[in-house]
Amino acid sequence: MKRREFVRTLGRAGGIAGLGGAAGLLEATAADRPRPAAAPGSGYGPIIDDDFRLVVLHTNDTHSRMDPFPMDGGRFAGLGGAARRATLIRRVREANEHVLLLDSGDIFQGTPYFNFFGGEIEFRAMTAMGYDVATLGNHDFDNGVDGLVATLPEAGFEFVSANYDVGGSALAGHVEPWTVREFDGVRVGIFGLGIAFEKLVLASLHEGVRYTDPITAARAACRELRAGGCSLVICLSHLGYEYRSSDRPSDLTLAEAVPEIDLILGGHTHTFLDEAVVFGQGRTGFTVVNQVGWGGMRLGRVDVTFDGARQASGWAAAGYDIDDRLDV
């Protein structure tokens, strides 16, 4: 029997709350996905109450979408935009003391901004927004390892990937398996996982970077982070949410295989989750899986509470849709 369940109520063990009406979108092809339905309202403060709370904001697969989608009558017309995202992030930070801002990869590729500037604009924008940590997606290698390294001076945030062995490449010293952030005595471990290069990235573009088994890498990362006193372990995954074959690593198979992960913030499959998925397991009692589509149309949020011993005790998840209501 699978241990995962879809949680629809807020409670001590966690829950889901909508912020501005998260759209009912699951994994389909891009052409089948309906337009997200609502913009964020005024709910930027706590979505779960406790003495100590960490707000984790996350994006994935923004694909160089600096501007909103054009008003061309298309499915996503007018949605997204980096300036709007920056406004939203600022408002959340103003309403909450402890905030992490994370990205699950595929920052690059998809608009002329990348074609002309090679990723510098994207990294500058993310730095201005105050991103803390990101992982690498397959499209982040589209200009090769050297092209990626050339843009890294513009990235004022860390990169993590536990299953990409970068030691034999120019990325050595720029990408670590994991990192740790501390908030008033709460240690938060963050590691990344990347998808297999085969059929996605030409060998010449990931020269010197070796893909290793993500499950093995995740278990090793969790052991190290827990041993280092981390009360919360977050995985930035670019494996993909779910596949027909259970043999292919995904966010769901990862959650079942590595219960020591508390949050899996996914990417790659462009999955708009209507509700986060939770597995009741591990030392915290939960592994929460979430993903927020693509193109910067949504900002994900997971609030985690901590007890007096600074151990994770509860969670709540939500999503903000990004549209012209953020222009004011």
Model pLDDT for residues 34-46, shown as the tens digit of each residue: 333 333 444 788 7
What are the tokens at 100? 């992490």
- pLDDT greater than 90 at residue 110: yes
What is the pTM (predicted TM-score) of this model? 0.89
Could you read off the pLDDT of 147-179 as tens digits, one per residue? Answer: 999 999 999 999 999 999 999 999 999 999 999
The pLDDT value recorded for residue 170 is: 98
Question: Domain residues of the chain, as ranges?
Answer: 4-29+49-327
* Residue linked to tokens 């997971």: 302
What are the tokens at 279? 């597995």
Find residue 235's DSSP bridge partners: 191, 264
What are the tokens at 182? 């501390």
The number of beta carbons lying within 10 Å of the beta carbon of residue 310 is 16
Distance from the first to the final alpha carbon of the chain: 49
Position 8 confidence tier, pLDDT thresholds 50, 70, 90: very low
Of residues 27 and 201, more confidence is placed in 201
Pairing label, strands 312-321, 232-237: unpaired
Fold of 4-29+49-327: Purple Acid Phosphatase; chain A, domain 2 (3.60.21)
What are the tokens at 127? 């730095």
Of residues 3 and 263, more confidence is placed in 263
Nearest to 198 by CA among 157, 132, 249, 150: 249
Pairing label, strands 210-211, 99-103: unpaired
Q: Mean pLDDT over all residues of the chain?
A: 88
**By the 8 A CB rule, do 299 and 276 touch?**
no
